[in-house]
Each structure stands twice: as C-alpha cells, then as structure tokens.
Structure 1
Amino acid sequence: MSTTQFIDTPQGRRIAYHKSGDTGPTVVFLGGLKSDMQGTKAIFLEEWCQARGQSFLRFDYSGHGESSGTFEEGCIGDWHQDTLAAVDALTTGPLIVVGSSMGGWQALLLARAIPERIAGMVTIAAAPDFTEDGYWANFTDDQKKALETVGHVELPSDCMEPYIITKKMIEDGRNQLVLRSTLALNCPVRFLQGTADTAVSTTTAVQLLEHVQGDNIRLTLVKGADHRFSDDACLKLIGRSLKCIIDEG
C-alpha cells in the first residue's frame, strides 16, 4: 500500500490522500460521514483500479481519518470544499465519482459544481440532504432547543461512538441541498441501494432517481444488503457498475 500524502486546501485544512494509476478517467472515492479512506469499499476500489492501471484517488475529509481538524468542526460545505480542493490539485481530465452514503451527497455536489468534468457516477446508499430530511426533520423539540442552547446534540451510532451533530452542520446543510432544485446528470449514473439499509431507505433512493435529470440513470436495489454494502456480492456489483460506466465512455 502506498504512503499517505497530504495537500493543503485554500481554506487552510490539511487533507490526507492516496493516489495511484495513470489511465484516465480518474476514479474518485468519496466516503461517508465519519468514515475514512481505509474502509473496505475504498481499498476494494483502489485494488480494482490498480489491476486495470486506472487512475484512482481516495482521501479523508477534514475531521476524518488522517486529515486535520475534528469532526465536530466540520460540515457538508467544508467537506465539499475539501473535495473540490483534492480534485483540483490531484486530478486532471474526466472523473468518475463513486460516493458512499454522505459521499453520495458529496458526489452530487461535485457534479453540480464541475459538471464538465464528471464522466460518470456510482453512488452507494446515497444520502442527499440528510441533515435536513433525516436529522432536523426527526429531532424532538428538546433536541432542537439543545442545538440553540448547547450548540449540538448527540445521536447514537450502531458501530462507533455517538455522532455529535452541531448547529453549524444543520444550518450549513441547508445551503447544500440538492433535492430542492433541478439537478442534471449528463453522464452514466448508477445508484446502488440495499433493501436492509437502516440508515438510508429505499424511499430516499427512489426519490433521488426520480429527481435527477439525465438519459442514462439507473437504480439497482439489492435485497438484504445493509448500509455497509461491503460483502463480496456488493463489492462485485460496485466493480461491475464502475466497469459499465468506464466501458460506455
């Protein structure tokens, strides 16, 4: 495995990354909330790309993994800035973006920001607008009051310490929403979603499919797959979806 390298963003954050391969288009992996670039899907995609000689980039948002800052300092907009900085500094030419969970939202934001560079997209349990439609919409009155008085709330997690959701994250999220206005994806797109996902529902996946505009957009539902979407069958499906998009290009 390659050594972690770093870049500094225009905002002064230090972003850790791994870059490999030299055959375009570059595959960029965008991880989920509180995930890092050492996860199963990121490493699978790196190995998949290396076997083809395909250019590949994985990185940690600020407040995640080996990058600078703390999670509680960040928000969707900050991580979008990190994504733009990494793509701008470390890649050239067309991109195929693979976004997992919150990374799916980031992939959509990236496509909105630089549509001319997006040659394809694969999302895995994409979670667009979750700060508003998931967190805020389901907060109790006491939780909403805590955001104002304490500045954050704690939410339980099945697989790690509680999530600290800040007032900044909720308010910034409203500036990053992608399901409230027209969103055109003029490239091959594959949305992947497990039916046993307890974090992102199939309803969200269908809503995303119906909202985006484009001529080559498909949603695949995998019966019994959970939010991790990381068993052998799911990883192979990610690989097949990516190959399909590359071949179409």
Structure 2
Amino acid sequence: MKNKKNYFLTSNKQSIHFTFFKAKSKIGVLFLHGLMSDISGKKVKFIKLLCKKNKLNFLAFDFSGHGKSSGIFEKQGIHDWILEAKEITNSKLKNKKIIIIGSSCGGWIGAKLIWKLKNIIGFIGISAAPDFTKYLMWNTFSKKAKQIISSGKIYKLKSDYDSYYPIGKSLIEGGKKNLILHLKKNCNFPLRFFHGLKDNVVPIEYSYKLSKTLYSKDSLILLQEKGDHSLSSSDDLKRIGKVLLRIAKS
C-alpha cells in the first residue's frame, strides 16, 4: 500500500512519486532523472544524503511513466515531465532559491524550467541531453521506424541499459514542441555541465550546445576522463557534490 504523503497529484492527473527532505535553509536542490530511470539510483541517494548533511532542502521525483509514478511511459512525453517538474517544484520548494540538477533527459527538462521559474540560483547538467528526441532519435531513425511511430504504434529502440526504449508518438511530438538548442537564455547564476569522455549514449557536444543556449558569465564544462553516461562512480559523485556545495554556499 503506497504512502499518499509521498505522492503529488498534478494538473494532468498524474500521481507523482517523490522524495523530499525539508530543511530550514532558503536553498532547495531539485534533481531531475534521465529517460527510463527513476529516483532509486545512486545519484539521487548521494545528493539527498549530501543535502541532509548540509541542511539543504532536497526534492526528486519519478516522471510520469517512470518508477512508482502513475502513467504509461509510451504515452508520456517531455511536455508532461516539464509540467510535472514545474508544479511539484512550485509546491515543495515554494519561496526557496533553487539549484537544478538535471541528468541526461533531466538536463533538458531542467533547462526548460529556467524559462518557467524565477528563483533559480544554479544549474548543474549531468550528461545533459537537450533536444535528444529530434537529434538523437527521430533524425537517426529509419523510414520504417518513423512510419511505426507516426501510425501511433510503438517502436522498440535498443538501449545500453535496458533491452529497449519503447518510443511512442507522444515522446517525439512532445519533444518537438519543447526544443531549446535554437534559443538563447541569459542566466545570472552559475552553470556547470558535467560530461563523461566515455559517454556512448549522449555525445559531449550536447553539453557544449547547451552551454551556448544557456549563457552565464559563470559557466563551466567539466569533463570526467573515466566517466560514462551515468556519471555514478564515487569519483564522479564526489566531484558533482563539491560543485553543488560551492554553488549553495556562494
């Protein structure tokens, strides 16, 4: 039986599973996970513990169609996850100064939130994958794959982490409406873009591209020599943690 205290009902009628640590600090850390991932992973556990030790508010949640949240993955899309992120953040981190951490797909969603939230004081991308539904999926798909998706059926895309990603029309169409790499956004807060040199899922160039879309005088691209796409090794996490605390204390 699920604990209702750990679920948030959004305006799109999804029951969103979340984890939240409340502190007296004026700063709140929001973590956004990657595609087909959830909040049970190493990064969430590490960052939540770090926030507890440093008395920072912390919020993470499963996107609809992921983890313990409601919804069917094949019927969800970027537009849904942006809406959910905005609503649960406005509820749980109301009046807080927010540091966004976005992993892979979450990096895209987190970047979109910069247009929608006014109280952001920092952004950390981890193997960020902005506009991936267009450039890493749709534009690389065969004519047959595109026909399958356009007809409303599910295309099974091979994955390095699971057997396949079930790609539906909602993911592709939702992505088209939220593309950001052609835009520019001035940010008056620190931007940090972590990327592993051994990432074979999202090319490093996407962190560079995002750093041109999001502009700040305090912007750094941080490459992890031995890092893969997940950037979940102890060394990766320690470096991410140090950067997070520097932003929080600045």
TM-score, normalised with respect to structure 2: 0.94
Find the aligned partners of 2:131 and 2:58 in 1 and give their Cα distance. 27
Residue identity matched to 1:133: Y
Aligned equivalent of 1:160: 162
Residue identity matched to 1:208: L
Find the aligned partners of 1:185 and 1:137 in 2 and give their Cα distance. 30
Find the aligned partners of 2:52 and 2:80 in 1 and give their Cα distance. 30
Aligned equivalent of 1:77: 79
Q: 1:84 to 1:47 in 2, by over 3 A?
A: same
Find the aligned partners of 1:113 and 1:99 in 2 and give their Cα distance. 15
Find the aligned partners of 1:160 and 1:144 in 2 and give their Cα distance. 21
Counterpart contact for 2:16–2:62, Cα < 8 Å: yes
Aligned equivalent of 1:5: 6
Candidates 89, 100, 104, aligned match of 1:101: 104
Residue identity matched to 1:68: S
Aligned equivalent of 1:247: 249
Counterpart contact for 2:74–2:170, Cα < 8 Å: no
Find the aligned partners of 1:147 and 1:204 in 2 and give their Cα distance. 25
- After superposition, residues 123-134 of structure 1 pair within 5 angstroms as 123-134=125-136
Aligned equivalent of 1:36: 38
* SS of alignment partner, residue 32 of structure 1: coil
Shift of 1:227: 0.4
Structure 1 spans left out of the alignment, 5+ residues: none
Shift of 1:185: 2.1
Candidates 110, 113, 124, aligned match of 2:113: 110
- After superposition, residues 145-224 of structure 1 pair within 5 angstroms as 145-224=147-226
Residue identity matched to 2:184: T
Find the aligned partners of 1:42 and 1:196 in 2 and give their Cα distance. 21
Find the aligned partners of 2:53 and 2:22 in 1 and give their Cα distance. 9
* SS of alignment partner, residue 26 of structure 2: strand
Counterpart contact for 1:189–1:245, Cα < 8 Å: no
* SS of alignment partner, residue 53 of structure 1: coil
- In the alignment of these two chains, the number of paired residues is 246
TM-score, normalised with respect to structure 1: 0.95
Find the aligned partners of 1:28 and 1:211 in 2 and give their Cα distance. 21
Shift of 1:4: 6.5
Cα deviations by residue, 1:85-109 (Å, 9 ceiling, x for unpaired):
1101111221101110000001101
> C-alpha root-mean-square deviation of aligned residues, in Å?
1.5
Counterpart contact for 1:199–1:227, Cα < 8 Å: yes
Shift of 1:148: 2.2
* SS of alignment partner, residue 82 of structure 1: helix
* SS of alignment partner, residue 193 of structure 1: strand
Cα deviations by residue, 1:120-159 (Å, 9 ceiling, x for unpaired):
1111000000001110110111111212235331101122
Shift of 1:3: 9.4
